[in-house]
Chain A
């Protein structure tokens, strides 16, 4: 498989060398990265070939599954241009999310500096090899996400159209990757060391929100008055929207329509990724290697920050509410402090808050928005339950971090059940990050709908808390911030989360139903959720998270 992937670069040897890289060194670095990925996917103590294949199959399956929903929706779209426009927009957003969550850790990985830097490696070779590595991952993901759409497109618009679509998918990957590179490397010119690390983190958060806003904007551009016959009007600024380049190119070739606007789209789709790559190679990459060394040294040379050891009133209050048991308090306190400082956590969690804000704001800017209709409706329930996604991200973000070998600390403590660490962890994250935002949101909603929605806000909070606890306790019990972010992660976790999400959406509908059934019927949910939370925290967590389970996943070396 690795040989096959490497052979794909043979036709581009000239191009790679023109970019200032040594082709042989480029291939060797890429081969090394793919070999390491291949082995690390197997996990510790699991050396069977089947384990690797299972991870890949599960991963691909979950991506195809996500693409399935999108592909089935596209059956309704009659216009080829709109069909491909939607497909490429969807792909760009998914890739952007992937880049945000994985790209920085791959592109700015300093762990291999000690091996790579002393070697006489030519110019842009390292940077190009890193990008080729990401390109292979993104291409696989993009292809998996589009499998159903490709099949639908081939049936609807013909085989040729489907094949051109596949070609434009790779162009899209190249373009998105170049765009991300331009932005990241541009940022690298602005700062160094610790400042650069922080800048990169906030930049990632901003672009995550930007992509989500662009996605929402892109979808809102389509005239949806007749869902089966959606049409995308071509304005002057359509030529500036990347998904339009690729959709225009597919439509032009599959319908043999080479008018002025289609030729512009073809030109943009082919030229922009190539031009972007040259721009990166010539102007941005030269600073890359030097800045990478700065990044590694960043923590050491940066001004030392003295941390305050006092606990705030808010911490003491939340600690009192969330951790009545003394044994959980230490983990609660530890994680409370760490969540404010761990970059990977913030990079994963904060964008999700941004998405929620975008998803809540966009409907207010649509033409069909009507304030008086809004306050008569129960749409506040939807807004409250959307926060489930924040809970999901929070649970996931607690595991990933750069502290892969710290697990020994937990194992050497005289603790009967490791569950107390996990309880303290999720409670601290929930109390510190979720609660203040949720309270703020509730206040905002109360100003629109009135105080009578407070019981509903409390019920939704309980449902989300229950969901977050379950999502965390039922996932692999890795100690906080100790799991490496991998470019590929198993699909099993996704399926588990997906089924939990479906359940919670059902709970949202149950809430809505009770609200309209008879007065105060919704209040019945409070003791039900309360009891469920009690059961989960008091019994389920101890059953699920045992030392045997924890030992099988965490590495104490």
Chain B
């Protein structure tokens, strides 16, 4: 399964009304990799992820996932992917177990198998005692853990993560990072969209930087660093997105509100 092209994107474009958000993205993603998908606010990261997960069906360009056309074989593709959204929004009156049972059943899993998996996954996050409590009583981080577990229930081959570490405590962040590395070793592909440069730098096999709907850098951190000699991804990010005058901006900001 390693090193097979599993996602192929050709000239992906997306408009919201008159506003062009994606300006022709071309990508090939091979299996067993962690792809760090980074970019400034409004660059089009979440839009790309939502298109790839089948949440947005209006776009131009061609996308194939697992050799199947996204437009026509969405259903088959959805069976093999997992998605962790940016906002941890769930039905608050349900319990994690009920939510995961629903997800499992919709994905055609046996109820008992789903229950067993849900228990095991939640146990890793030390949330087994919370399995039958309503989600309304959970903190943001706890909800995020429920989302991570439910996205992995069906053992997907390709996992899309949109800011998956949002709200997680330090231990959970370390645990998820380790988990992602293990999953990639097993041949799973992880498409990881985030603002957290240090995490992306540490775990990604390949980093794709987009700005204003275009890919402006693509490669491993070492490959990208060879070209520029930036000390870390954060510096590379600020340089490539043309935002190097942070000090001046901070001074202007303080001046503006102290007036």
Is B133 an interface residue, CB under 8 A from the partner?
A: yes
CA distance A331 to B94 in the complex (A): 13
Closest approach, in angstroms, between the C-beta of A424 and any C-beta of chain B?
10
**Proximity bits, B27-53, A CB within 8 Å = 1, else 0:** 000000000000000000000001001
- Flag if A413 contacts B106 (CB, 8 Å): yes
**Proximity bits, A279-319, B CB within 8 Å = 1, else 0:** 00000000000000000000110101111110000000000
- Flag if B17 contacts A406 (CB, 8 Å): no
For chain A, the count of residues having a C-beta within 8 Å of the partner chain is: 37
CA distance A392 to B156 in the complex (A): 41
Residues of A5-46 at the interface with B, using a CB-CB cut-off of 8 Å, are 45
- Known contacts A299-B137, A304-B137, A403-B91; is-contact A330 B132 (Cβ 8 Å): no
- Flag if B17 contacts A408 (CB, 8 Å): no
By a CB distance below 8 angstroms, the chain A residues around B101 are 330, 333
CA distance A557 to B105 in the complex (A): 23
- Flag if A305 contacts B54 (CB, 8 Å): no
By a CB distance below 8 angstroms, the chain B residues around A412 are 53-55, 78, 83
Identify which of A164-172, A225-233, A265-273, A336-344 touches chain B.
Answer: A336-344
CA distance A46 to B51 in the complex (A): 21
Looking at the complex, which one of B54, B91, B97 makes contact with A411 (CB distance below 8 Å)? Answer: B54
Contact size range, B? 35 or more
Closest approach, in angstroms, between the C-beta of B217 and any C-beta of chain A?
27
- Flag if B89 contacts A403 (CB, 8 Å): yes
By a CB distance below 8 angstroms, the chain B residues around A330 are 101-102, 105-106
Chain B residue nearest to A343 (CB atoms) is B93
CA distance A409 to B90 in the complex (A): 8
- Flag if A45 contacts B56 (CB, 8 Å): no
- Known contacts A307-B134, A329-B105, A481-B91; is-contact A414 B78 (Cβ 8 Å): yes
Is A551 an interface residue, CB under 8 A from the partner?
A: yes
By a CB distance below 8 angstroms, the chain B residues around A305 are 133-134
A-B CB contact pairs (8 Å), 11 listed: A302-B137, A304-B133, A304-B134, A307-B132, A334-B91, A334-B94, A334-B98, A341-B93, A403-B91, A411-B55, A414-B106
A-to-B contact residues, CB < 8 Å: 45, 47, 299-300, 302, 304-309, 329-331, 333-334, 337-338, 341-342, 402-403, 405-406, 408-409, 411-416, 481, 547, 551, 556-557
Closest approach, in angstroms, between the C-beta of B59 and any C-beta of chain A?
13
Is B107 an interface residue, CB under 8 A from the partner?
A: yes
- Flag if B94 contacts A337 (CB, 8 Å): yes
**Proximity bits, B136-154, A CB within 8 Å = 1, else 0:** 1101000000000000000
Closest approach, in angstroms, between the C-beta of A504 and any C-beta of chain B?
31
- Flag if A551 contacts B93 (CB, 8 Å): no
- Known contacts A334-B102, A337-B94, A412-B55; is-contact A47 B136 (Cβ 8 Å): no
- Flag if A556 contacts B132 (CB, 8 Å): no
Closest approach, in angstroms, between the C-beta of A189 and any C-beta of chain B?
24
- Known contacts A411-B54, A556-B50; is-contact A300 B93 (Cβ 8 Å): no
Closest approach, in angstroms, between the C-beta of B100 and any C-beta of chain A?
11
- Flag if B78 contacts A402 (CB, 8 Å): no
- Flag if A405 contacts B87 (CB, 8 Å): yes
Number of A-B contacts defined by CB within 8 Å: 92
- Known contacts A47-B17, A299-B137, A411-B54; is-contact A309 B132 (Cβ 8 Å): yes
Looking at the complex, which one of A306, A403, A557 makes contact with B133 (CB distance below 8 Å)? Answer: A306
- Known contacts A307-B95, A414-B107; is-contact A551 B57 (Cβ 8 Å): yes
CA distance A237 to B190 in the complex (A): 74
B-to-A contact residues, CB < 8 Å: 17, 50, 53-57, 75-76, 78-79, 83, 85, 87, 89-95, 97-98, 101-103, 105-108, 132-134, 136-137, 139
- Flag if A299 contacts B83 (CB, 8 Å): no
> What 10 pairs between A and B have smallest CB-CB spacing?
A330-B105, A341-B93, A414-B78, A405-B89, A413-B106, A299-B136, A414-B79, A556-B55, A334-B102, A414-B75
- Flag if B93 contacts A408 (CB, 8 Å): no
By a CB distance below 8 angstroms, the chain A residues around B83 are 408, 412
By a CB distance below 8 angstroms, the chain A residues around B50 are 556
By a CB distance below 8 angstroms, the chain B residues around A47 are 17
By a CB distance below 8 angstroms, the chain A residues around B56 are 556
Closest approach, in angstroms, between the C-beta of B166 and any C-beta of chain A?
14
Chain B residue nearest to A412 (CB atoms) is B83
By a CB distance below 8 angstroms, the chain B residues around A481 are 91
CA distance A276 to B17 in the complex (A): 49
CA distance A412 to B106 in the complex (A): 10
Most chain A CB neighbours (cut-off 10 Å) among B56, B107, B136: B136
- Flag if A408 contacts B85 (CB, 8 Å): yes
By a CB distance below 8 angstroms, the chain B residues around A416 are 75
By a CB distance below 8 angstroms, the chain A residues around B75 are 414-416
By a CB distance below 8 angstroms, the chain B residues around A403 are 89, 91-92
Chain B residue nearest to A334 (CB atoms) is B102
- Known contacts A342-B93, A412-B54, A413-B78; is-contact A307 B103 (Cβ 8 Å): no
- Flag if A415 contacts B106 (CB, 8 Å): yes
Looking at the complex, which one of A306, A411, A557 makes contact with B132 (CB distance below 8 Å)? Answer: A306
By a CB distance below 8 angstroms, the chain A residues around B98 are 307, 309, 334, 337
For the A-B complex with A412-B54, A414-B78, A415-B75 known, give 14 more contacts whose Cβ atoms are closer than 8 Å: A299-B136, A302-B137, A309-B95, A330-B101, A334-B98, A337-B98, A338-B91, A338-B93, A338-B94, A403-B92, A406-B90, A408-B83, A414-B79, A416-B75
By a CB distance below 8 angstroms, the chain B residues around A414 are 75-76, 78-79, 106-108
- Known contacts A304-B133, A413-B103; is-contact A309 B89 (Cβ 8 Å): no
Most chain B CB neighbours (cut-off 10 Å) among A45, A414, A481: A414
Chain B residue nearest to A330 (CB atoms) is B105
- Flag if B55 contacts A408 (CB, 8 Å): yes
By a CB distance below 8 angstroms, the chain B residues around A307 are 95, 98, 132-134
By a CB distance below 8 angstroms, the chain A residues around B134 are 299, 304-305, 307, 341
CA distance A300 to B53 in the complex (A): 32
CA distance A175 to B53 in the complex (A): 53
